[in-house]
Amino acid sequence: MISEAARDALAGWLASRKALEGASDHTIDAYARDLRAFLGFMTAHHGEAQGLGALARVTTADMRAFMAHERGAGLGARSLARRLSAVRSFYRWLSEREGFEPTAVLSARSPRFTRKLPRPLSEEAARDMLDLTAAQAPVPWIAARDAAVITLLYGCGLRISEALGLGGAALPMAEVLRITGKGGKERIVPVIAPARAAVAAYARLCPFAITPAGPLFFGARGGALGPRPVQKAMARARAQLGLPASATPHALRHSFATHLLNAGGDLRAIQELLGHASLSTTEAYTGVDTARLMEVYARAHPQGDDRDR
């Protein structure tokens, strides 16, 4: 059982994550599950409701017991690391407001795990995916719609949520888009001619009225298009092309970054196009080996011209 004060603190922290990070409802739900698991364990571990005073007294031994319990219950290293991250974030927030020392919680070490790197498609596979998606849907306007969305993902490096979040006011599509990404951060993204053409072709065929106040992309029944139909279209295409299950809409975003870098693009410019806060995130998105990254770095570094002197 969790005390009313602890429930209020949890609700306040979740609200702050949504406001400050622009976290999605899915992310907030995951945070809530992680914290409830932690608070539930501490209640059972200490045999009493966990109010704010009890939470402030959590020790290093308590944290070790919690981690051992979660691993014993079958929680994987990656999931436990995410759970600990949520707990630490909650404790930073709570300790600032309640004035206690959170070192025991913040010093808990996450388990090591091998991070799965993204798997971009080859340039040929990406082109085949675009062509087949445009040809496979039996309804012409839906085929054009899917092709337009997928071309935006690959041609502009958009997240699927960003592409589907575009409104009718984006028509006629200009050479640049102002995109609002994670955390409410805005960025300017160039729109290549094939993407503009694909969107225009869809708009001509769409049976629903595209208005400035409504969505750009519609589902078959007239509502705003969700991600599932696009995911299914790509799943059908990758099955026909013999591509792995990793060939998802998000993989097209990885492919955008990788192919730009392969073509000589600057890593920092690609970071800005993707809307990444950290350059290391952009590096993880690209399927380019270390030697290629060092080549780009040496060419772009301000002291690069002096390296042979």
CATH hierarchy code of domain 4-106: 1.10.150.130
At the top level of CATH, the class of 123-300 is mainly alpha
Q: In this predicted model, what pLDDT tens digit does every residue of 4-26 receive, in sequence order? A: 888 888 898 888 887 776 666 77
Q: 92 and 59 in contact (C-beta within 8 Å)?
A: no
Q: Is 159 a catalytic residue?
A: yes
Q: Which two tokens stand for residue 292?
A: 């290629």
Q: Report the 3 state secondary structure along the chain.
A: CECHHHHHHHHHHHHHHHHHHCCCHHHHHHHHHHHHHHHHHHHHHHCCCECHHHHHCCCHHHHHHHHHHHHHCCCCHHHHHHHHHHHHHHHHHHHHHHCCCCHHHHCCCCCCCCCCCCCCCCHHHHHHHHHHHHHHCCCHHHHHHHHHHHHHHHHHCCCHHHHHCCEHHHCCCCCEEEEECHHHCEEEEECCHHHHHHHHHHHHHCCCCCCCCCECCECCCCCECCHHHHHHHHHHHHHHHCCCCCCCHHHHHHHHHHHHHHCCCCHHHHHHHHCCCCHHHHHHHCCCCHHHHHHHHHHHCCCHHHCCC
In this predicted structure, the answer to whether residue 123 has a pLDDT above a threshold of 80 is no
Q: Is the pLDDT of residue 287 over 70?
A: no
What pLDDT score was predicted for residue 178? 85
Q: 116 catalytic, yes or no?
A: no
Q: What are 214-232's pLDDT values in tens digits?
A: 999 999 999 999 999 999 9
Residue of 17, 159, 254, 259 marked catalytic: 159
Q: Is 154 a catalytic residue?
A: no
**Residue tagged active-site, from 82, 119, 187, 250:** 250
Q: Which of 83, 253, 254, 259 is catalytic?
A: 253
Residue 91 among the catalytic residues: no
Select which of 31, 91, 202, 285 is catalytic: 285
**The model's pTM:** 0.56
pLDDT for the residue numbered 168 = 94
Choosing from 45, 182, 187, 236, the catalytic residue is: 182
pLDDT tens, position by position, 21-56: 666 677 888 888 898 899 888 888 887 776 788 888
Nearest residue to 251 via CA among 227, 286, 277, 281 = 286
What's the whole-number mean pLDDT along residues 181-188? 77
pLDDT in the model for residue 267:
59
166 close to 217: Cβ distance less than 8 angstroms: yes
Look at residue 185 and tell me whether its pLDDT is greater than 60: yes
Percent of the chain topping pLDDT 70: 78
58 pLDDT above the threshold of 50:
yes
Given the residues 83, 238, 259, 276, the one annotated as active site: 276
Domain ranges in the chain are 4-106, 123-300
**What tens digit of pLDDT does each residue of 125-181 get?**
888 888 888 777 889 999 999 999 999 988 888 888 889 999 999 999 988 888 887
Please say if 285 is a catalytic residue.
yes
Q: What is the mean pLDDT of the chain?
A: 80
pLDDT at 303: 46
